[in-house]
Amino acid sequence: MARVSDTYGSMVFNEHTMQERLPSATYKSLLKTMKQGEPLEIEVANVVAHAMKEWAIEKGATHFTHWFQPLSGITSEKHDSFLDPVSDGRAIMSFSGKELISGESDASSFPSGGLRATFEARGYTAWDPTSYAFVKDEVLCIPTAFCSYTGEALDKKTPLLRSMSAIEEQANRVLALFGWEPQRVVPTVGAEQEYFLISEKDYAKRQDLVMCGRTLFGYAPCKGQELEEHYFGAIRPTVNEFMKELDDELWALGVPARTKHNEVAPAQHELAPIFTNANRGVDENLLTMEKMRLLASHYGLVCLLHEKPFEGINGSGKHNNWSLSASKNLFDPGESPMDNLRFLVFLTAVIQAVDDYQELLRMSVASAGNDHRLGADEAPPAIVSIFLGDELDAIVDALVDDHEYESAEKVAMDLGVDVLPNFLKDNTDRNRTSPFAFTGNKFEFRMPGSNVNLSDANMILNTAVAKSFKDFADAMEGKEGDEFETATIAYIRKTLKAHRRIIFNGNGYAEEWEREAERRGLANHRTTADALPCFVDPKSIALFEGLGVLSEAEVRSRYEVKLEKYNKLLNIEARTMKRMVRRAYLPAINDYAAEVARGITAVRAAAADAEVGQQEALLHKLLAGVKEIDAQLQALDAAHHAALGLPDQQQRANKYAHEIVPIMEKLRAAVDEMEVVTDRDHWPVPTYNDMLFYV
């Protein structure tokens, strides 16, 4: 068997392969493009393209594609073959520098939020040389940005790349004040991915899963997750085989999948990779999701990436671990007093960013699916707050209230002069309920749902923190030595005081926190419809424009696309619900009621004095259930039609979120009540009991 270290990255045109395959002058100029963002000359691109093609063909590729992320969030690819017929009837395999660098995409069907008029439907894709090309399923995939001809970003990657430049530039300004040389500063991302696996046979029998990715109906199983027998439990053989193939495929693609385990809910699992730069981290997560979906079918399984496929048991999240990497991790408390001060500046910047742009962060993870997860038992609420841990919290308190800092170990510390206790790391991450936790030398943003493309969240995080850095660097410009140190400590104090409300170390799942958060003036947007409008606030637009990450038109288009997507998903859910009720549940319950009625008649015919009270009660219960289901169905139908009649997308979203979703919940409850009294053989779909415990 091949050693993993031999196959790791074997399908990736990485630096090692480039060095091996490219003339050294070409390799050097490509590196310059990759590392310093210098433009790629067409002559160089031609040489790179040729080498890449030869390499890809050896790996079995017949086609190439520009692999990109339109605003729908999922990756898109259109395969072109390398085939180039020549005049004598044969064909050669060709791939030019031009084809590598840019492609045209007749992409009129991708959502653009009005950015691209239909008469100018074409967009173009441009190679992102900072993310490696790779061969996947016989296709050479070239990670690309996707733009309109007028230069607007039509994708998720471009703004992320811009935000990475913005934070790099501003971080360097801060570091320069501390005497650091200019250097690469890169946001890093490690995305922990949760998912469910269920049997393909069950899946196929449930229209709600097939159409919506989640169960719109289903009574809670007899046992849920209370025995905690699944969490970190032995992985069953089929699942294990699946995970093995997944690891192998991901490793070959250079995705450093590292840990895998069973999660809390039955049938739920998790995969965590080793972190990398934000851009690649997002790409790798998208590849991971794609592979999960595709490979599951090899084992008769379906991988559900929905944020809440099953009601009453845990949903799936995607923890976004985020940090800043320069010559060292910038969120590592330092060894020297001056480096401690720098650490506090960086920490303060994040606290300020998360407070100032809490609504944008919430917005970045808003989706129809995640609405069912945020605020449910196991996920952070829709309120953004930061958890720092006892030790850092005490430091912040000391700074804000201007008293002597005493660590848990009772070591007095003169701020800014002494060294931060190096046991910080062990004192953090005791709180799993926080949406944004400092975990030693990185932050863990826990609000993203399992299905989300992490570009938006990281784009916003990078931009917001870049803005804090900019504020600090602007304020400190020209200051040096003692003056700088004193001004910095004062700046930290003032900023922490202003943003202390965002720090919360208590139980984020508790009801008291909602009330407390309201007192503190923190935003609590429970639904996507409520969360999206902040995107187009003047404050947000100023942020994005100010740092060159998104133009106003680009912001507005993204807001439109998100709204439309929400409305479309809710429309599909409402339709699926109605269809299932009319064509599956009502006929089944009516059938069973008729059978019970026939039984009563038959028993009475056989013995006129027979006791049939129980049977009659059941019959009445079934008929009452049918009546209630029908009433909710009518209500849903009316509200749904009214929603579709609203031309304004925001109004429509509000209607879905505040009126239709509650009716859908009632309709679901009415059907679920019948599930537990209807004969098993009559029930038209597999139940939670059937689906969750066999895989």
Task: From 262-270, 317-325, 374-382, 625-633, give the range in contact with Mg ion by CB under 5 A.
Answer: 317-325
Residue 332 beta carbon to ligand ADP: minimum distance, rounded to whole angstroms: 9
Contact 183, 172 (CB under 8 A): yes
CA atoms within 13 A on the CB side of 611: 1
Nearer to ligand ADP, 153 or 271 (CB): 271
Residue 74 beta carbon to Mg ion: minimum distance, rounded to whole angstroms: 24
Give the SS3 label for residue 455.
helix
The CA distance from 518 to 382, in Å, is 12
Task: State the binding partner of 190 from ligand ADP, Mg ion, none, CB within 5 to 8 A by kind.
Answer: ligand ADP
Residue 635 beta carbon to Mg ion: minimum distance, rounded to whole angstroms: 41
Task: State the binding partner of 308 from Mg ion, ligand ADP, none, CB within 5 to 8 A by kind.
Answer: none
Task: State the binding partner of 273 from Mg ion, ligand ADP, none, CB within 5 to 8 A by kind.
Answer: ligand ADP
The CA distance from 602 to 453, in Å, is 59
Residue 400 beta carbon to Mg ion: minimum distance, rounded to whole angstroms: 28
Residue 445 beta carbon to ligand ADP: minimum distance, rounded to whole angstroms: 11
Nearer to ligand ADP, 76 or 433 (CB): 433
Nearer to Mg ion, 345 or 447 (CB): 447
Q: How many residues bind Mg ion (CB under 5 A)?
A: 1
Task: State the binding partner of 189 from ligand ADP, Mg ion, none, CB within 5 to 8 A by kind.
Answer: ligand ADP
Running DSSP on this structure, what letter comes out for residue 602?
A: H
The CA distance from 448 to 320, in Å, is 7
Which residues touch 13 (CB under 8 Å, ≥6 apart)? 52, 55, 56, 132, 133, 134
Which residues touch 156 (CB under 8 Å, ≥6 apart)? 69, 70, 71, 73, 282, 453, 455, 456, 459
Contact 679, 592 (CB under 8 A): yes
The CA distance from 32 to 44, in Å, is 12
Which residues touch 77 (CB under 8 Å, ≥6 apart)? 65, 66, 67, 68, 139, 141
Does 269 bind Mg ion (CB under 5 A)? Our answer is no
Residues at the interface with ligand ADP (CB under 6 A): 188-190, 192, 272-275, 321-323, 329, 441-442
Write out 572-598 in H/E/C secondary structure: HHHHHHHHHHHHHHHHHHHHHHHHHHH
Task: State the binding partner of 442 from Mg ion, ligand ADP, none, CB within 5 to 8 A by kind.
Answer: ligand ADP
- For tokens 């209500």, what's the residue? 635
The CA distance from 358 to 355, in Å, is 5
CA atoms within 13 A on the CB side of 176: 18
Task: State the binding partner of 329 from Mg ion, ligand ADP, none, CB within 5 to 8 A by kind.
Answer: ligand ADP
Residue 6 beta carbon to ligand ADP: minimum distance, rounded to whole angstroms: 23
Nearer to ligand ADP, 48 or 424 (CB): 424
Nearer to Mg ion, 275 or 346 (CB): 275
Contact 518, 524 (CB under 8 A): yes
- For tokens 């990779």, what's the residue? 273
Task: State the binding partner of 272 from ligand ADP, Mg ion, none, CB within 5 to 8 A by kind.
Answer: ligand ADP
Nearer to ligand ADP, 488 or 505 (CB): 505
Residue 275 beta carbon to ligand ADP: minimum distance, rounded to whole angstroms: 3
Number of other residues whose CB lies within 10 A of the CB of residue 170: 25
The CA distance from 646 to 641, in Å, is 9
Contact 485, 416 (CB under 8 A): yes
Residue 250 beta carbon to Mg ion: minimum distance, rounded to whole angstroms: 19
Residue 217 beta carbon to Mg ion: minimum distance, rounded to whole angstroms: 32
Task: State the binding partner of 435 from ligand ADP, Mg ion, none, CB within 5 to 8 A by kind.
Answer: none
> Helix 337-356 and helix 455-476: axis angle, to 10°?
120
Contact 376, 449 (CB under 8 A): no
Task: From 95-103, 250-258, 311-319, 608-616, give the range in contact with Mg ion by CB under 5 A.
Answer: 311-319
Running DSSP on this structure, what letter comes out for residue 199?
A: E
Residue 537 beta carbon to ligand ADP: minimum distance, rounded to whole angstroms: 29
Task: From 145-153, 201-209, 314-322, 611-619, give the range in contact with Mg ion by CB under 5 A.
Answer: 314-322
Task: State the binding partner of 322 from ligand ADP, Mg ion, none, CB within 5 to 8 A by kind.
Answer: ligand ADP
Nearer to Mg ion, 158 or 505 (CB): 505
Nearer to ligand ADP, 218 or 317 (CB): 317
Does 319 bind Mg ion (CB under 5 A)? Our answer is yes
Q: Which long-range contacts (CB under 8 A, 24 or more apart) does 335-338 make?
A: 335/419, 336/419, 337/416, 337/417, 337/418, 337/419, 338/178
Task: State the binding partner of 323 from ligand ADP, Mg ion, none, CB within 5 to 8 A by kind.
Answer: ligand ADP
Does 260 bind Mg ion (CB under 5 A)? Our answer is no
Task: From 82-90, 312-320, 482-490, 503-511, give the range in contact with Mg ion by CB under 5 A.
Answer: 312-320
Nearer to ligand ADP, 254 or 686 (CB): 254
Task: State the binding partner of 405 from ligand ADP, Mg ion, none, CB within 5 to 8 A by kind.
Answer: none
| Backbone angles phi and psi of 151, in degrees to 5 | 95, 0
Nearer to ligand ADP, 278 or 663 (CB): 278
Name the residue whose CB lies closest to ligand ADP: 190
Running DSSP on this structure, what letter comes out for residue 155?
A: B
Could you tell me the two tokens for 97?
């520098």
Task: State the binding partner of 289 from Mg ion, ligand ADP, none, CB within 5 to 8 A by kind.
Answer: none
Residue 385 beta carbon to Mg ion: minimum distance, rounded to whole angstroms: 17
Nearer to Mg ion, 320 or 453 (CB): 320
Residue 334 beta carbon to Mg ion: minimum distance, rounded to whole angstroms: 25
Nearer to ligand ADP, 274 or 676 (CB): 274
Give the SS3 label for residue 448.
coil
Nearer to ligand ADP, 127 or 322 (CB): 322
The CA distance from 572 to 564, in Å, is 12
Residue 433 beta carbon to ligand ADP: minimum distance, rounded to whole angstroms: 14
Number of other residues whose CB lies within 10 A of the CB of residue 693: 13
Task: State the binding partner of 113 from Mg ion, ligand ADP, none, CB within 5 to 8 A by kind.
Answer: none
The CA distance from 574 to 594, in Å, is 28
Residue 194 beta carbon to ligand ADP: minimum distance, rounded to whole angstroms: 12
Which residues touch 59 (CB under 8 Å, ≥6 apart)? 10, 11, 135
State the residues that interact with Mg ion by CB under 5 A.
319
